[in-house]
Amino acid sequence: MPKRFKNILFIKVIFCYCLILLSFEAIAVVNKSTDPNTIPLIPRNVLFSNPARVNPVLSPDGKYLAFLAPVKGVLNIWVADSHDLASAKPLTQEKKRNIREYFWALNQKFILYFQDTDGDEDFHLYRVDLNSGQEKDLTPFLKTRAELIKTSMIFPDEILIGLNNRNSKWHDVYRLNITSGKLKLIETNDRFIDYVADEKLNLRIARRPADDNTQEYFFKDKNDKWQFYARVRFEDILSSGFIGFNRAGTIAYQVDSQDRNFAAIYAIDFSNKQKTLIAEDPKTDITSTLFHPFELTLQGYATEYLKPSWSVLDKRIQTDFAYLRAANYGDFEITDRTLVDDKWLVRYYSDTKPSRYYLYERDPKTNTPKSLSFLFTTFPQYINQPFVPMQPVIIKSRDGLNLVGYLSLPKNSLAKTKSMVLFVHGGPWDRDSWGLSRIHQWLANRGYAVLSVNYRGSTPGFGKLFINAGNKEWGGKMHTDLIDAVNWAIKQKIADPQKIAIMGGSYGGYATLVGLTFTPDVFNCGVSIVGPSNLFTLIKTIPEYWKPDLAIFRQRVGDIDSEEGRKFLATRSPLTYAARIKKPLLILHGEHDPRVKKAESEQIVARMQHAHIPVTYVLYHDEGHGFVREPNMISSMAIIEQFLAENLGGRAEPIGRDFQGANFSIMAGKNFIRGLSK
C-alpha cells in the first residue's frame, strides 16, 4: 500500500489534517457564454454530503472487501464479497461521528478501527467481530491516545500499539492480542517519539529528540539494548525518517534528505549498516512508496511536484502498470493488495470527476494481468455536475522561489465578476495537491476564482531548502508568498483587487487572521477555521504528546521560553494587531479542538468586540480540529457561503434545511450574515 511520507514524518505536528477532507484544484479556460443561468447551482448537500462509498480495503486473502459508507448519515464499515458488492452489509453502527481510519486484522476474524469523542483526538482502538458484529474497545483508558505501531503476518493475532495512559507525553509500547484483548507491556518509554518494528514485532529503530534541536536514531543490538546510530540535523527532520523493514528484517528502508535537497530512498543492510541509494529524483522529493505486500520490498515510488507521478522499480509489476495505464481511465494509484498479490485495489482520479475504484486481478506466478472490474464511484452525485478543471501554476515569490499553486476559474460569465478566494492550506507542513476539490468546485460554482498556493514551508515535493525557507516566517515571508500570489492573480486579470477573500483552516485560519491584520487593505473579507491568533498560547497549549517535539515549534515558529522569543511571537500574532481589522471576518471553531484550542478564536473575538469591530464567531460543540459530522460540514459551508456572497457578490443557495442536525452556536455577530439571525 502506498505510504505518503508526509503521514510518517512528524505527523504529530501537522496542524491541518483532519480538516474537512479538503484537497485543492484549479484551472481554466473561460467560455464565452453570457447567461449565468445556464450554469446550475450545485446544492451544498450534494457537494458536502458524505461519500456513497470510500476507502475500500481487501481482506488479506482477497475474499472480502471492506469500505466506508453511510448508515443513517454516518460513515460506518461495510463488508462484502469482493466479487459481489450487492452482498455488502454494515459491520459497525456508529451513530454520531464518521469512522475514518480502519484496517483488517491479519487473522481475518476482525476489523479494527480508531475513533475519538467529539474531535478530542484521544483515539481508542476498537475491534469488530466479522461473524457476530460484536464490538470491543481494546484501549478503554481515559485521556489516552492509542497509536498503531505494527501489524504482523507472522503473528496475525497480535499487533504493537503505543499508549500514553501512564505519561501523557510519551507512548509506552504494548503487544496487544486482538482476540483476547490482553495487553503486554513491551517497553516503558520516556525518551522516544516513535518506533519502527519488524515483522516479528521486535522494536528495531527508535527516534529521540535531542537538546540541540537535532534528532537521534537508535538501533537495537543483539542484547536488546538501544545503541546510538545517527544524528539528523534540524533542517532534515521533516524530510527524513525510516519507513519499515523487509519481511526478513535484514533491510530497513529510509527516506532521507541529508547531504541533498530532495528526499531520496535508501536501503540499510543491518548486517553491516551499509547504506544504498534505491531511488531519487533530481527535481523533487519522493513522496509515496509501493511495497510488495508479502516480501515488503520496495517496488515503486511516486514524486509530486505539480502532479503525482509513479515510477516502477520491480520488473515484476511493470506489465501491471502498463495494463492499468492502457485502460485510459485517468491518473491512478494502488491503494491495497492481497498477501499473495493476486488482487489489487486501484483508484482512478481526476480534477473534474469523483474517484473510481476498480478490482484488478492478476496471476502472481507469471505476473500477468487477468481482469479489471469496476467497483464503485465515491460520489456518484458528482457525475455530470458542472465541475471546472484545475490548472497547476507556478508563481514567483518576490525573492525568487517557485510557488506551486492550483487555480480554478468559474465557468462562462460567472468569471466576469473577477471575485477570488485565496484558499490557504493548513499544516503548515503539508501541501496543496492536484485533484478533485470540493472547496474549489463549490467556490467556482458560486462565481469565484479559487487560488491555492504552496507557500514556503510546504512539504513534501519541494525540497528541504523550500521547507526551511519557512523557518520563523509565520506571518513573515510565508505571508508575503500569499500576497505575491494575490498580486500575480491581479496582474493576470484573474482577480479584481477589491474583490478578494482569504480563507483557510488551521494554519490557513492563522493566515486569514494575518491577512486581515498585517495587510488590512489587501483582502475584502476573511474566513478563519480553527485558526490560531496568539502564537504564544498556541505553542503553550499544544497536546502533551506533542511536547517532546517542541523543538519544531521553537525553531520553525518561535521560542516561548525566552523573553526575546516571546516578543518575537507577539510580533507575528494577529491578536497583537486585532485593532487593525477593518474588513468583515467570519471565525469557526470546534469546541474540543486539542491542537488549536478554542481560546485562540475567543481571544481575538473578545479583542475585536472590545474595540467595537464587527466579527461573527460560530462554535461547533461536537467537533475538534475541523468538522467531521456531515450536518456540521454542510451547515458551516452554508454560513460561509452567505458571508462570501454578501462581501464578494457571488451566488448563494438559500440556507433552507442546511442547519438541520448541526450542533453549533453563534457566539457573536449573528446579525452580520444574512439568514443567521433567524
- Span 540-556, average pLDDT: 93
Position 431 in a domain: yes
Task: Assign residue 294 a region (left: φ > 0; alpha: ψ between -120 and 50; beta: otherwise).
Answer: alpha
Position 519 in a domain: yes
Which of 31-40, 100-109, 482-491 is predicted with the least confidence, judged by mean pLDDT? 31-40
pLDDT in tens, 322-365: 999 999 999 999 999 999 999 999 999 999 999 999 999 999 99
Position 463 in a domain: yes
pLDDT in tens, 37-49: 579 999 999 999 9
Among residues 593, 622, 635, 636, the one annotated as catalytic is 593
Q: Decide if 631 contacts 660 (C-beta within 8 A).
A: yes
C-alpha cell at 503: 480563507
- Concerning whether 432 is annotated as a catalytic residue, the answer is no
**In terms of pLDDT, which residue wins out, 311 or 26?**
311
Q: Decide if 578 contacts 613 (C-beta within 8 A).
A: yes
Task: Assign residue 133 a region (left: φ > 0; alpha: ψ between -120 and 50; beta: otherwise).
Answer: left
276 SS3 class: strand
C-alpha cell at 3: 505510504
Cis amide leading into 532 (omega within 30): no
pLDDT in tens, 440-464: 999 999 999 999 999 999 999 999 9
Position 66 in a domain: no
pLDDT in tens, 130-151: 999 999 999 999 999 999 999 9
Q: Residue 69's beta-bridge partner residues? A: 76
Structural domain containing residue 427 = 3-43+382-672
Among residues 419, 625, 635, 658, the one annotated as catalytic is 625
Q: Decide if 432 contacts 453 (C-beta within 8 A).
A: yes
**For residue 11, what pLDDT is reported?**
35
Count: domains in the chain: 1
For the chain, how long is the longest CA-to-CA vector?
Answer: 76
Q: Could you tell me the CATH number of the domain that includes residue 525?
A: 3.40.50.1820
Position 256 in a domain: no
Q: Residue 80's beta-bridge partner residues? A: 65
pLDDT at 29 over 50: no
Report the C-alpha dihedral over residues 512, 387, 375, 112, rounded to 10 degrees. 10
For 631, phi and psi rounded to 5 degrees? -60, -35
For 77, phi and psi rounded to 5 degrees? -90, 125
Distance CA 401, CA 403 (A): 6
- Span 165-185, average pLDDT: 98
**DSSP H or E stretch at residue 492:** none
pTM of the prediction? Answer: 0.94
C-alpha cell at 249: 528484517
Position 598 in a domain: yes
Among residues 506, 601, 635, 636, the one annotated as catalytic is 506
pLDDT category at 26 given cuts 50, 70, 90 is very low
User: Cα(first)–Cα(last) distance of the chain, in Å?
Assistant: 49
Task: Assign residue 303 a region (left: φ > 0; alpha: ψ between -120 and 50; beta: otherwise).
Answer: beta
- Concerning whether 506 is annotated as a catalytic residue, the answer is yes
Distance CA 42, CA 240 (A): 42
Compute the residue count for the chain. 678
**For residue 660, what pLDDT is reported?**
96
Position 251 in a domain: no
Position 274 in a domain: no
Distance CA 475, CA 548 (A): 25
Distance CA 145, CA 149 (A): 13
- Span 207-222, average pLDDT: 93
